[in-house]
Amino acid sequence: MAVSKVAIGPQGLNVSALGLGAMVLSGTYGSPDLAQSETAFKRAVELGVTLIDTADLYGDGANESFLAPLVAPVRDDIVLATKCGLTRSPTGSPVPNGRPEHVAKAIDGSLGRLGVDHVDLYYLHRVDPAVPIEDTIGAMSQLVAAGKVGSLGVCAVTAEQLERANSVFPITAVQSEWSLAERTFETEVLSTARALGVGIVAFFPLGRGFLAGAFDADVAFSNDDRSGDSRFAPQNLPHNLVVLEGLRAMATGLGLTIAQLSLAWLKAQGSDVIPIPGLERIEYIEESVAALAVDLGAAELAELDALFHQGAIRGGRQDPGRPPADK
């Protein structure tokens, strides 16, 4: 099946109902097979996935450079999104940087690495607490006027921050972690986004592999960004895996994988919700695209809500711009 298209945001940007989180294609979760990643990218586009998501932080630009030769032959067929607003501290930790002068420099770096003259969607990766968001979005809006950027988005914001950003320039998409395993977004940002007509892009919709059954209680992360996520820490993972077994049993009963059931749940939250799973293998691409054909009923959605209620999953990842979660 081909992935359908939906319009998001006040300008009606057309994107695929499923996007591709490109971060994992060139790193982050260990050392990937780059040839395999290239094949997966091409298969995703072939199946109609048009929204390709990257950031200047990923591999400190290496992910954008990896994408450049893959993007070139399909540039007119995709919606290319990247981000600014996170830099590295001397220790290598991500640090928010929303200064207008950084925004102007960052876009030129991204365009050069991607080998394009513009990106379709440009996100503020994280809000800089030292810079009013109005100033950062104002600088980003100048990039739209200059033709370097088509539309603007924000990531991991509060409802108030989203409103303030939108008061400066119409925000097309808000990107936030949202999945069965992380439902904080639903508390207030979801309703604010919908009131403003802002599209919703869900990153880590498979819980960084957790909702795909990617590991068990004996998992050991090496050269892997997930090592800092307390959901996978020894004090939390055994409990979380018990919750996951409920999802596995339900998926088996429906003839689905747990990844497909997880994505089907997000699909059921509304046509304005675009998951962008990180998928570096063809079989993962095809599995995820097939999930778009799954329509869950009210009883099934209620069962999932009961299983993954707020607080059901213990722990949370540390994220620049917000305190560590400890649910």
In the chain, DSSP assigns E strands to 5-8, 13-16, 20-21, 51-53, 79-84, 86-88, 94-96, 119-124, 149-155, 171-177, 199-203, 273-276
Q: Which of 29, 58, 123, 284 is catalytic?
A: 58
The dihedrals phi and psi of 18, each to the nearest 5 degrees, come to: -135, 130
CA–CA separation, 27 vs 30, rounded Å? 6
Known catalytic residue: 29? no
Bridge pairing between strands 94-96 and 86-88: antiparallel
Q: Contact at 8 Å (CB) between 6 and 272?
A: yes
Q: Contact at 8 Å (CB) between 274 and 51?
A: yes
- The residue among 85, 79, 93 whose CA lies nearest residue 48 is 79
Task: Classify residue 327 by its DSSP letter.
Answer: -
CA–CA separation, 228 vs 249, rounded Å? 29
CA–CA separation, 159 vs 197, rounded Å? 13
Q: What is the DSSP string of 124-187?
A: E-S--TTS-HHHHHHHHHHHHHTTSEEEEEEES--HHHHHHHHHHS-EEEEEEE-BTTB-GGGT
The residues annotated with a catalytic role in the active site are: 58
